[in-house]
Chain A
Amino acid sequence: MTFLRPLLIALGVLCTWQAIVWLAATPPYILPGPHLVAIAWFENAGIILENAVVTLAEIVLGLMIGALCGAVSALTMAYFRPARTWLLPVLVVSQAIPVFTLAPILVLWLGYGMVSKVAMAVLIIYFPVTATFYDGLKRTDPEWLDLAATMDASGWATLVQIRVPSALPALASGLKVAAAAAPIGAVVGEWVGSSAGLGYLMLHANGRMQIDLTFAALFTLAVMAVAVYFGIDRLSRRLVPWQAESEPSA
């Protein structure tokens, strides 16, 4: 059933889509049927995959850099009290600026290449990772900290041996949110100005009324996003195996 369910859902979506196309009799340049999109995908497989690799690289690089920056910020705030009082307000206020509005500026500053898209993804990922990890670090069971205190543990040992491991499940959920947001950052960056990537391809296809190609690129992007999400999910399960075990008591 676990394998069958996603297939059934996909089949349901495809049937609904086809039914809408039949019932509303939409012209292919407004809403192409699933079979037209499939044909477009195979006809343009080379271009799509070429651009998908670029977008995937932006997503993965953005995730890695964003997660690293977020984790370091959270650790700094958890360990150094002054860092907390200075960084936390900045962090919260920075979230008031819609990151998408920064996209044109980033493209202006960092160019049409991959760097501006990675920066965009990093900006989107940074906050959820920092916020969830910092929250996890703050919420360490106080009884564990008491136990560590009676064992004469230093602040550093407590952070490394108790607070960080106990916050890893929170970091993992932050990373999952980040994995879902990273493709958005990359594609928005590509829309604003780029010379490659799935966002670039979609924009071009859209301009030339090749809606079937737009859908094919969109489909590829969705598959990639889902793959990245589940990849992170699998990885966090492997790296934080006590996550499920500790959930009921948490």
Chain B
Amino acid sequence: MTAKNVGFNGLMPCGWTISFRLTMLRAAARPRCPMSEFWVPLIELCPMARSAVNTQHRMAPPTVRLTDARLEYDGRLLFENLSFTLEAGKLTCLLGPSGVGKTSLLRLMAGLTHPGESGHVACDDGAPTAGRIAYMAQSDLLLPWLSVRDNVLLGARLRGEPRDRDIAGRLLQEFGLADYADLRPAALSGGMRQRAALARTLAEDRPLVLMDEPFSSLDAITRARLQDLAILALSDRTVLLVTHDPLEALRIADRIEVMAGRPARLGETLVPPGTPPRDPGSPELAALYARLMARLTHAAAATEVSQTGGNDGP
């Protein structure tokens, strides 16, 4: 309880700074924006913004297509001939009943295949996805023997690259973890750990980000704060976020996909109006929420029916 309180207090003062700096970033990211000439010098003054803008020029986010995806688990066919597209620079949320194969789809995208899983991943720019992916799982996956800072820089450590302590310091500062940089993850609360995991994902500085229920283990308020952080920090990347929470999808997604049935299929893509983070309480989102819930309920029923059907079979 105490740790959590400390965590929040630690985040509060820098919350404004984050949204301010990243708002500047978003403005700069739109080339059509007439204000960009005005913002650019400002961005040059801000190191984090500068690095992020440079990143944008260096690595444009690709559109990623997964085709011919197939998953067989325990002798049961979960999906086959499935195609899935992640649009460039958009945050796509993938919803669906549990056990439908959402995580497997994400793992196929990440190139992490188990026996029984197969699929073909291609980017519109022709380059392979290898070396362009950052992955974030439901559990924070912080290594308990490394300090928070070393965890954030894990990618560089594993690749034997020089570790840029400035980037880690800046990210930890932005995420309100500067005071915890030298501590081990065990000293952090759940929300802080997940923030550190997000910082590690961003330190990878990859144009394609794959997240598997990254916020589902957090309490409502911590989750909302982390979603806000993630939306701003991931604004110019191609992102896939698997979630079971339709409200989360409506709040942060550019595009929503629902996966259902057995073998699983993707339905019509939902594009919620406005820019995230949206207020899930607004009337237009309430209508969309009702639609999404209806689809999910139908999806869950369809999956269950085919599951029972599958169990009765040989």
Contact = CB atoms under 8 A, between A and B. Distances in A.
A140 to B, nearest CB: 11
A162 B204 CA distance: 18
Contact of A152 (B139, B145, B159): B159
A150 B141 contact: no
A147 interface: yes
Interface stretch (A90-98, A153-161, A220-228): A153-161
A146 interface: yes
B154 A150 contact: no
Interface string B142-160: 0111000000001101111
Contacts of B139: 143
A157 B159 contact: yes
B184 A151 contact: no
B313 interface: no
A245 B184 contact: yes
Interface stretch (B3-11, B84-92, B126-134, B242-250): B126-134
Given A242-B145, A242-B184, A245-B186, A147 B157 contact: no
Contacts of B135: 146-147, 150
B141 to A, nearest CB: 5
A144 interface: yes
B137 A246 contact: no
Contacts of A150: 110-112, 133-135, 210
B186 A147 contact: no
B220 to A, nearest CB: 23
A148 B137 CA distance: 12
A158 B158 contact: yes
Contacts of B111: 149-150
A154 B144 CA distance: 21
A218 B141 CA distance: 49
Nearest to A165: B145
A246 B159 contact: no
A151 B112 contact: no
A246 B140 CA distance: 13
Contacts of B137: 143, 146-147
Contacts of A157: 157-160
A206 B110 CA distance: 70
Contacts of B133: 150
B158 A148 contact: yes
Contacts of A168: 145
A167 to B, nearest CB: 11
A153 B131 CA distance: 10
B158 A146 contact: no
B131 A152 contact: yes
Contacts of A240: 145
A150 B137 CA distance: 11
Nearest to A245: B186
A45 B134 CA distance: 66
Contacts of A144: 141, 143
Interface string A167-201: 01000000000000000000000000000000000
Interface string B80-115: 000000000000000000000000000100111000
A150 B134 CA distance: 7
A98 B159 CA distance: 45
Given A143-B137, A157-B159, A165 B154 contact: no
Nearest to B135: A150
Contacts of B131: 152
Given A150-B133, A245-B184, A143 B141 contact: yes
Nearest to B138: A143
A240 B159 CA distance: 24
Contacts of B186: 242, 245-246
A144 B130 CA distance: 18
A154 B155 CA distance: 11
Ranked nearest first, the 4 interchain pairs of A and B with the lowest CB-CB distance are A153-B158, A245-B186, A150-B135, A242-B144
20 contacts: A143-B137, A143-B139, A143-B141, A144-B141, A146-B110, A146-B137, A147-B154, A148-B158, A150-B133, A150-B135, A151-B158, A151-B159, A152-B155, A153-B158, A154-B160, A157-B158, A157-B160, A166-B145, A240-B145, A245-B184
Given A146-B112, A151-B154, 19 more contacts: A143-B139, A144-B141, A144-B143, A146-B135, A146-B137, A148-B158, A150-B133, A150-B134, A151-B155, A151-B159, A152-B130, A152-B155, A153-B158, A162-B143, A165-B143, A166-B143, A242-B145, A242-B184, A245-B144
